[in-house]
Amino acid sequence: MSAFPQPTDGEPLDFHTERDEQSRSWTRARPNAALIERFGRFGYKVTLRGGEDVHYCALGVEEDKYIGRCDCKGWKYHDGPCAHLCTLRKAAFIGLIDVEKTDGSPGDEHEMRQMTGETFDGERFDGAIERAQEEVCHR
């Protein structure tokens, strides 16, 4: 079982349901019309056609099942994968990207969270925590 939190009940990303139900996320996902830039082992920057914002996604394969996350509101507030993750899945299917395998280890989990800006390494994160603590103490 994966160490990665999932959008609904802890299961891997269910792209089959998105496809079968022709969800809004699935129909918006057009990898040939999107800008996809890889960074890091699991990280992708995705901009959909007609979208103004770049979204940071992480996608990996664990035991032949896709796992991932995104920094968009669709990922945060809705069940199932967002349009950005659906775009990456379609891009993998047609050979535009190669999705890396993960073993579900805490190190891989941390790396995926870094790709979506949920965690930071080093001074930047520590400095932000210290400033927030100082502000609370001075109130």
What digits encode the pLDDT tens for the residues 101-123? 998 888 888 888 888 887 765 54
Q: Are 36 and 97 in contact (CB under 8 A)?
A: yes
Retrieve residue 21's tokens.
């139900």
Angle of CA points 30, 35, 36, to nearest 5°: 95
Confidence tier at 36 by pLDDT (50, 70, 90): very high
What digits encode the pLDDT tens for the residues 38-84? 999 999 999 999 877 999 999 999 999 999 999 998 888 888 899 99
pLDDT value at residue 135? 59
